[in-house]
């Protein structure tokens, strides 16, 4: 039985996101050094034999394990062999929610590998805050879903992970995510013809949400966002997106594409008139979690929509005028030369101004 253990947020964040991990990884990749006799140095010898565990069955109960002040309680039945640890059944309660876990640890010469499968039900998102990137100042709400993957803890080097996440959350907040700030910054870069109709109005949409859906894969070297859907409070704004982020210590630029529809008419009505769409496309790009809007992406996407919109308007106008001329000819009100009438309509419609 394990009880009364406290793990702080700072400790968890340091393990997951510290830039010092880069130095450790590089050190682990350093080629073996040899002494003057050509022998491998003591600190670079082949790894020792793996840990051997006595076979058996273990029943574990834990309570009052605090992860950043959120209590974790549970029980598990664990099967142990010489080189494996299998969690046959585990149930736990954490941060006002419940979960189930199955797990396998394989003990090898190079270290240990772990496979796991979580099922989460009604977990308070505040409990996950210590495990999230620093860009999220706070996180609230309750979520359910599945989290499964594998971890590798080598004798040398750093932790490696590959985790698939498919979760949904209700009535919460991603503090530190300001949708209005992204939108306002993009609006300032729009063509004057469109910006003049929007300027002065403010979209009040922050990180508060009615619904949040997320599906993606988190690997040590890349976070792949397959599907993101965010419905703001009072349905003021809908956001859908996907992309990829390269977590620290990597300095490679990541890209997240968002399609934003605000349902107040602040932007959507003008976009529809100008570009034939209610969607404001925004691309965030940058190293690590330092993502900023790529304004040129938005302008180019809207420009393509504008061309299509204007082309559609020209075609509609041509149809209207041609129908009118044909009607006049059939009723005997035209000049008598239908071909020349129609040619004249088209010529005027496409005349350069």
Q: Which of 282, 278, 238 is nearest to 257 (CA)?
A: 282
Largest Cα separation within the chain, whole Å, is: 110
196-215 confidence digits (pLDDT tens)? 777 666 677 888 899 999 99
Using a pLDDT cut of 70, give the percent of the chain over it: 65
Phi, psi of 221 (to 5 degrees): -100, -15
Q: Which of 211, 247, 245 is nearest to 229 (CA)?
A: 211
Q: 279 near 244, Cβ under 8 Å?
A: no
Tokens representing 271 are 């976009």
> Does this model's pTM top 0.85?
no
Non-local CB neighbours of 172 within 8 Å, separated by 6+ positions: 125, 139, 140, 141, 142, 143, 208, 209, 212
79-134 confidence digits (pLDDT tens)? 888 888 888 878 888 777 888 888 898 888 888 898 988 888 988 877 766 666 66
CA dist 60 → 64, 138, 274 (Å): 14, 32, 64
């Amino acid at each position: 039985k394990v009880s009364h253990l406290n793990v702080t947020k700072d400790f968890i964040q340091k393990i997951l996101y510290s830039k010092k991990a880069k130095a450790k990884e590089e050190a682990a990749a350093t080629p073996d050094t040899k002494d003057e006799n050509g022998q491998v140095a003591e600190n670079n010898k082949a790894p020792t034999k793996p840990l051997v565990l006595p076979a058996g069955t273990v029943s574990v109960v834990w309570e009052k394990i605090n992860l950043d002040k959120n209590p974790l309680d549970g029980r598990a039945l664990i099967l142990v062999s010489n080189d494996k640890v299998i969690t046959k059944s585990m149930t736990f309660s954490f941060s006002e929610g419940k979960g189930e876990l199955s797990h396998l640890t394989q003990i090898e010469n190079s270290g240990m590998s772990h496979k796991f499968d979580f099922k989460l039900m009604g977990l308070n998102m505040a409990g996950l805050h210590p495990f999230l990137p620093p860009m999220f100042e706070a996180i609230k709400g309750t979520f359910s879903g599945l989290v499964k993957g594998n971890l590798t803890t080598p004798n040398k080097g750093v932790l490696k992970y590959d985790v698939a996440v498919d979760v949904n959350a209700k009535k919460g907040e991603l503090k530190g995510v300001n949708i209005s700030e992204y939108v306002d910054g993009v609006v300032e870069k729009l063509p004057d013809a469109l910006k003049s109709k929007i300027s002065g109005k403010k979209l009040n949409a922050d990180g508060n949400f009615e619904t949040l859906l997320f599906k993606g894969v988190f690997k040590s070297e890349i976070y792949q966002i397959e599907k993101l859907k965010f419905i703001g409070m009072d349905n003021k704004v809908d956001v859908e997106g996907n992309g990829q982020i390269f977590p620290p210590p990597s300095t490679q630029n990541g890209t997240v594409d968002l399609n934003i529809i605000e349902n107040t008419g602040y932007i959507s009505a003008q976009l529809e008139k100008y570009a034939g769409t209610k969607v404001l496309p925004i691309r965030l790009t940058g190293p690590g979690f330092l993502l900023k809007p790529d304004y040129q992406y938005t302008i180019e996407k809207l420009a393509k929509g504008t061309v299509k919109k204007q082309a559609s308007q020209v075609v509609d106008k041509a149809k209207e005028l041609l129908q009118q001329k044909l009607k006049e000819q059939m009723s005997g009100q035209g000049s008598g030369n239908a071909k020349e009438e129609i040619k004249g309509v088209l010529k005027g419609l496409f005349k350069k101004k």
